[in-house]
Each structure stands twice: as structure tokens, then as C-alpha cells.
Structure 1
Amino acid sequence: MPYQKNKNFYRLLQKVDACLKTGMPFSIYRKPLENKVKGVFQSGDKLKTAINFEEKGFVFAPFDDNGAIVLIKADELAEVDFLPETKNIYTEVELKDSGKDFHIELIKKGLNEIKEGSLKKVVLSRKISRPVSSSPSLIFKNLLERYQNAFCYLFFHPQIGVWCGATPETLVQIKDRQLRTMALAATLPIKESSSPGWGSKEFEEQAMVTRYIKETLGSSLESIDIGELESVKAGKLWHLKSTISGILSEKTSIKQVIDSLHPTPAVCGIPSKEAKSFIKNNEGYERTFYTGFLGELDLEKKRNIDLFVNLRCMKICDGMASIFVGGGITSASEPESEWTETQNKSKTMLSII
């Protein structure tokens, strides 16, 4: 019997299931550390796009910043409570080595580019395909249960497909000209009763991201503040994070801010243009919406946005889940360790399906 305190949540899932059957676009999501699940529903199946970020709705953007940014128009909004029903138990998953040789060679190529000086950092990823039997709405519920400090979402458009995820990374939040973003980088598995043992490689990777964002946003802000470096948990992983905040200049548009930040060095590399070119020419698959961004656009107030980087995510199609994982490569990277990092990151989604 469904948990009675979540009865409105289950009604929302019924609406979602109906939209999936009839092909009506929607997104449902919960922000980090909140207990409200929100829904944005579009009344027709036409593919709409965000042009200048003056629109209202839920945006879903690809990694390629030349690609169309999908907009779920806010024809109907929903908000319900969700309270966890089960203990936060992680399911052990079987990790396979398929694709390891290709990914190791990819990392070596990236290290060679860094050695030659054309790149300082490049983020390299891979795709994992596994059968999935659970419904999208059940997967979304499981994400809410397990990843309470992440942005959890389920997105659907008939021309895009079904995507879901639990991302730990904010792209940008703007509210009443107050801007907040984060520099998130480096990964270590959580070991019980021990603190993360960060090394120079992880600290330098995080510092690169912080410097890049500070330099990129500098002209858009009247003031900027870099918070203290901290270790944060995302599922069964540690990351290094600095919060970056400031006051948005009156002359700066939302589009200018997003164009400046996306794609961040945490998902692409430094320099951005060269890293993106290397990724497209060498990863061996199209990221599409993995490492893009998603979130609210002007739902509460004009020029208020709340966007997240699309990490720890999957696409569901024809009984298969495509899961995406990657890691930042710097001069201090070791290919075998980087492979292990992607294995650890894959557990977030693999444990759900």
C-alpha cells in the first residue's frame, strides 16, 4: 500500500505515466535537500526551444552549446510533498570491464595533448548500456530515496526521449540579481569512518575550475566572492567544492551568463574550445544531453533561474538504459585511476536500475 503521506506524490506519478503513454512533454524534479517535488507539464507535443532565456518553463540543454535548448512550456505546474519511505540502502552492483581498453587509450591521448601544451585539462567520458525493467516513474522515486542531496529529475519529450538523473552540480542560480554557482571537481569513493584523502592532483583540478569560473564571470558581476574549499558527499562519492557568489550587473543578460559558464571546465576542459574539439573527435559517441544543463527558467519571478549540470544521468529507450560517466584529466592523471573513477561514478545509476 502506498505511503499515505506521499499520496499526492503517487497521483503525480500517475499523471507522469499517462503523459508517457500519450506523448505529452513534462519534467518532474526535486531540488537538493528539499522535500517538494515539482512538475512542469506542456499541453501539446510540439518541440519548443529557449532562445534568449526570457521564456518560462523547464529547460533541457545539450552539451553542444550550438544545439537547440529544449523548453518544456509551463502550461501546468504541480508541487507535492515527498517523504522518504525506505532507509538509504545502496544496492551492490556488478561492474564490468567492457570498454576499458578504449577508455584507457582515450585517456592516454588526452594526456599526450596536455603534455604537448594544447590542453590544460580535458573531461573524458564513456557510455554504459544495460537492460532496465523498472518504469521511469519508479526509477525517479528510487533516485529521490537514495540521493537526497542531489537534484533529481525525470524528463520526457517525444522528440527527445526519457532522461533521468541525480546531479550534484549547480550550473547557476540567479534570484533578485544574486548569483550563485559552484566549482565542483575531483572524486574519491566514500570509505566508512574515514575522511577523503585528497592529493595534489585533485586540489589542482578543483583550483583550475575555480579560476576559470572566476575569470569568466568577472565582467558580468558587480562583486564576486569565492567560498572556502570543502569536501561534499554525492551518493557514495566525495567531491571538492567551492561556492562562488556575486551580484549580477544590471547590463548583463541571463543568456550572457549561461553562455559564459556552459560548458564548464568540470565537464569539458581548459581551454574550452580545444577541449570540446578533442572530446568530439575522440570520445567515440555523442554525448547529446549528458553534461548539458537543465532546470527552472522564470517559474517564480522574471530573471530568476535555477540550473544544474546534467551529470549522474541516463537515457531510457526500448528497455535499455544508457548511463554516462566521465572524469577530469590533468597532467597528474593516471589512466588506471581515472578508469576506476568512472567505475565508481557508474554505481550511482547502475544501483538504481
Structure 2
Amino acid sequence: MHYPKTKDLQEILDRVEVCLEEGLPFALYRKPNDDEIFGIFQADATLHHSMDFTEKGFAFAPFDSEEKVVLIQPDDIWKSEFHFEASLATNSIPLDESGQEAHINLVKSGIKEIKKGRLQKVVLSRKIEVTVSKSPIKILKTLLNKYPNAFGYLFHHPKVGVWCGATPETLVKVKDKKLQTMSLAATLPYIENEKPKWGKKEIEEQQMVSEYIGDKLAHTMERLEMDEAESVRAGNLWHLRSEVRGTMLPNLKVREVIRALHPTPAVCGIPTGEAAQFIQANENYKRTFYTGFLGELNLKAQGELSLFVNLRCMQLENGKASIFVGGGITEASNPESEWVETQNKSKTMLGIL
């Protein structure tokens, strides 16, 4: 294990620059509410995969749980302090109305499927492409400053591409067989000095996710506790979140926990198998790593991991950024409101660019 070498932040950023130019894999990240930034660097361009989450490194997993999980090997681990700088207010962001009809039709077909009784909930998303002039490092710095309570990262593998994001959602943390996860759902825009007013649809949506996680984990845990839902702010949005804690059964393998949790109902739907099929058949693009997960595997100790759902993220290639926005659809959903919700969510990442 290469213990993190403490470096000057600029030295880490310079190395990242070189890796991007020379096509070498790395992951640079900061955990929520933390003032340290870590760089995991792999010495060559080989594409490695994690087979069962017992390997050491940085995992980058796609939405489709049948596909392989990319692993950046920790040939070098560097860390530095990251000092938060208050971010400037963003100007109002021009939103693109193209894609409205297609998204509304997608939502309508989701609601139809729910009414047939095949699904309780399905999360439907779309991709927005914009031209970008900012460098990946500049984008990451903006993300880290704007969203200190998110998991902020920049990932690169020449055979996979460049991704970055700031996600508010933990998939799972495990340490000494103690597990932490969360049930996160529902969205309202943040309005200065106002508490969010949750409607029946949002409360039910979040309860559905909590119950689903409880059911999925019940057989893997010695005990499981779930907190009441509370409102949490993520940038210009509110969500409902319940913290979940448990103690894993002694002989339980981490991969079984990950399999039980990914993809979560918050990014896929309920039941997840049927929802994933519907998404793959009906969304007009392939999600690849959006709504997958990423994070540390066994870097501090075997069996210790810290994984986050890949939300609020973008893929950067050839001067373009692809941004992804979606929402949870239930029988109570209104297709036009769902379109507006994706427009509101798009401001998060468009504001960064």
C-alpha cells in the first residue's frame, strides 16, 4: 500500500495535466465536507477491472450492473489540502428548450408502464450537450468550491474518457463491517429563506426508496437502523434523505451488499430490474457511467470502502460536455412538471461551465 504522499496542491494539479496529455489514468477527488484532496495515479494505460471489490484502487462503475467496473490502480497516492474559496454567484443560465417534446413523451410512456402495474417508479433522464472552453481542472475547482458537501471528482482513463462531478449521494460506506448508506429522493428548487414544502408525491417517492433499501439489505445485516427523512440542501435544490446504518453479517461479502444496492431506486426505479429494462429500452441514449458509482476500494484497509452514486456529473470530450438530468416518475407525476424539474437540475452543471 502506497500511503498518501503529502504534496503541494499545484504539484498534484500539474501531474493531472500531464496525465491528461499523455493518456495516463488517474482519479482526483475530495470527500464531502473534507479539506483534503486525493490523487490516485496509475503508472500505465492498462484498463483494469474490479471483479469482486476486494482489489485496491479507485472504482468507476457503469449504470448497467452487468458491465465491468473500471479500476484505477493506486501506483501512487498523493494528497493535499484543498482550501475552499467562496464561489462567485453565477449569472442566469440560458436554458435550451430543445428536447422538451421527446422528454415529455418519455415521461408519458413511463407513467403508462406504471399504470399497467409493472413498475412503481422509474427514473428517466436525458443528455444535454454543450460546448465548453474551460479546462477539466478549472471545472473541478469550480465544482469543489461550489459544492463543499458533495463528493467532487475528476476521473480519466484513456480507454474510458474524462468524467467529473459533485454528487450528493452515498451508495455505501463500509468500515469494520459497519455499513452506512442513504435513501435519497424527491427534489424541490431552493428558494432563499424558505423551507421546502414537500407534497404527497415527494414524500411517497422517498418512502418507497427507503422501504426498498430496507428490504434489499434486511437479509445481509445483523441489524439495520433507518432515520426519519429530513430535508437536505444540495446547491440550488432540496432533497429528502434518510440515513441508513447497519452491521453486516460476519461472512457477508462486500460485493453482495453492492449488488443489493446498485442501481439504487433513486437512479433507476422500483422494482430495479424491470425499471432498468424500461430505461435501456426507452431512454434515447446510453447512460454509460452516469448513475453508476465511484470511489475508494480498500485503500486504507481491506474491507473498507467509500462509494458514491455518479450523479451531477458530466463527460468531457472534444470540447464538449455531456450533462445528464433526470427525475423519478411515479403514477402521480405530471410530464410538464418533470420537464421543468430536469431544466432546474441542469442549472447545477451548466452553472459550473
Smaller-chain TM-score range? over 0.9
Deviations 1:64-123 (A, max 9, x none): 001110000011001100112334533421111110000000000000011110110000
In structure 1, the residue matched to 2:247 is 247
Q: Does structure 1 retain, via aligned residues, the 8 Å contact 2:40–2:78?
A: yes
Question: Do 2:87 and 2:142's aligned partners in 1 also have CA atoms closer than 8 Å?
Answer: no
Distance (whole Å) between structure 2 residues aligned to residue 73 and residue 91 of structure 1: 40
1:90 aligns with 2:76: no
1:328 aligned partner, one-letter code: G
Is contact 1:29-1:154 (8 Å) kept? yes
Q: Which shifted more, 90-99 or 182-191?
A: 90-99
CA 1:119/1:156 → structure 2, altered by over 3 Å: closer, same or farther? same
User: Which residue matches 2:69?
Assistant: 69
Q: What does the per-residue CA deviation read over 1:137-178, in whole Å, with 9 as the maximum and x for residues that have no partner?
A: 110000011000100000000000000001000000001111
How far apart, CA to CA, are the structure 2 residues paired with 1:175 and 1:346? 34
Task: Give, in angstroms, the shift of residue 12 of structure 1.
Answer: 1.1
Partner Cα distance (1:12, 1:88) in 2: 24
The alpha-carbon deviation at position 8 of structure 1 amounts to 1.8
Counterpart AA for 1:217: L
| Map of 1:207 onto structure 2 | 207
Aligned mates of 2:142, 2:66 — CA distance in 1 = 33
Equivalent position SS for 2:256: helix
Match of 1:26 in 2: 26
* Aligned: 1:235 with 2:235: yes
Letter of the 1:335 partner, please give it.
P
SS at match of 2:352: coil
- Map 1:179-218 → 2, pairs under 5 A: 179-218=179-218
Alpha-carbon deviation of 1:247?
0.4
SS at match of 1:351: helix
Q: What's 1:223 paired with?
A: 223
Matched positions, count: 348
Partner of 2:171: 171
The aligned counterpart of 2:127 is 127
Question: Which amino acid letter does the alignment assign opposite residue 41 of structure 1?
Answer: F
Counterpart-to-counterpart distance in 1, 2:242 and 2:264:
14
Q: Does 1:298 align with 2:298?
A: yes
Q: Give the corresponding residue for 2:347.
A: 347
1:330-341 superposed matches below 5 A: 330-341=330-341
Please, what is the CA RMSD of the aligned residues?
1.1
User: In 2, Cα distance between the equivalents of 1:261 and 1:37?
Assistant: 27
User: Could you list the per-position Cα deviations for residues 263-307 of structure 1 after superposition, in whole angstroms to 9, with x for gaps in the alignment?
Assistant: 010000111111111101100100000000000000111100000
Structure 2, gaps ≥5 residues long? 1-6
Matched, 1:43 2:62: no
Q: Secondary structure at the match of 2:8?
A: helix
Other-structure match for 1:60: 60
Supply the distance in 2 between the matched residues of 1:237 and 1:140 (Cα, whole angstroms): 20
The CA distance in 1 between the partners of 2:9 and 2:336, in whole Å, is 43
Q: Distance in 2 between matches of 1:91 and 1:254?
A: 44
SS of residue paired to 1:245: strand
Q: Matches of 2:148 and 2:78 in 1, distance apart?
A: 20
User: After TM superposition, what 4+ stretches of structure 1 lie above 2 angstroms from structure 2?
Assistant: 85-92
CA distance in 2, matches of 1:91, 1:305: 38
Amino acid at match of 1:89: A
Do 1:128 and 1:324's aligned partners in 2 also have CA atoms closer than 8 Å? Answer: yes
Question: Contact 1:45 / 1:158 at 8 angstroms: preserved in 2?
Answer: yes
TM normalised by structure 1 equals: 0.97
Q: Which segment is superposed worse, 88-97 or 68-77?
A: 88-97
TM-score normalised by structure 2 residue count: 0.97
In 2, are the aligned partners of 1:42 and 1:74 still within 8 Å (CA)?
yes
AA at the equivalent of 2:220: S
Residue type of the alignment partner of 1:79? K
User: Which residues in structure 2 correspond to 1:261-300 (within 5 Å)?
Assistant: 261-300=261-300
Deviations 1:204-261 (A, max 9, x none): 0000000000000011110000012100011110000000101011111000000110
Could you tell me which residue of structure 1 aligns to residue 328 of structure 2?
328
Which 5+ residue runs of structure 1 have no aligned equivalent? 1-6
Deviation per residue, 1:31-85 (Å, 9 max, x gap): 1111100111101100000001110000000000011100000110011001123
1:310 aligned partner: 310
Secondary structure at the counterpart of residue 273 of structure 1: helix
